[in-house]
Copies of this chain bind each other. A is one copy, B any other.
């Protein structure tokens, strides 16, 4: 019997309206305000390259913290002041959060499942737990969840079984009692099935 439902965030509970580029835009605007001028697309490319460099250290299922990738990006353009890096990270988190917009029917679905007695959790590939917490609080849906797990928090990305196993263990659940809902055929469907959960594919 299914006792719990896990939800992906991007393209599942949330629409993604260019979240990455919005983050780069915010960082670019902040840097301009203190006298460093960098193109948004260039910054975003550097961010992705920095992130890949760190993932190369950690392996395929490793999720680097966005703060760490951002620190490396800024360092590569000569910006190493820790307070500037921290401010840029706050803008980054704000920018990604702005780009993530709650699906119209998400609250109805969560309300329905909660009333049916299901245990609910978020299992998201996200490089900043801060972002997940921020959007769930902003959209007042934090209260529906018994666990909120972001890949940065544990260090492993879906489709790795480890992030599913961590969440199951948190909630004292068997995989067979759990269904994961997500849009990504690899991360969400293959990953969940590999960890022994059932999976529901929500097309984008």
- Taking Cβ atoms with an 8 Å cutoff, the residues of A that contact B are 53-54, 57-58, 62, 64-65, 67-68, 71-72, 75, 80, 82-83, 86, 129, 133, 136, 142, 145-148, 152-156, 162, 165-166, 169-172
Contact = CB atoms under 8 A, between A and B. Distances in A.
A61 to B, nearest CB: 10
A164 to B, nearest CB: 11
A135 to B, nearest CB: 13
A72 B75 CA distance: 34
B153 A72 contact: no
A83 B143 CA distance: 9
Interface core residue of A54, A148, A154, A162 (most chain B CB under 10 Å): A154
B64 A155 contact: yes
B68 A148 contact: no
Given A62-B155, A68-B153, A155-B155, 14 more contacts: A54-B154, A57-B162, A58-B162, A65-B152, A65-B153, A65-B154, A67-B153, A72-B170, A75-B169, A80-B170, A80-B171, A82-B136, A82-B142, A82-B147
Contacts of A72: 166, 169-170
A132 B143 CA distance: 31
A65 B162 CA distance: 15
Contacts of A133: 82, 86
A174 to B, nearest CB: 15
Nearest to A83: B142
Contacts of A58: 155-156, 162
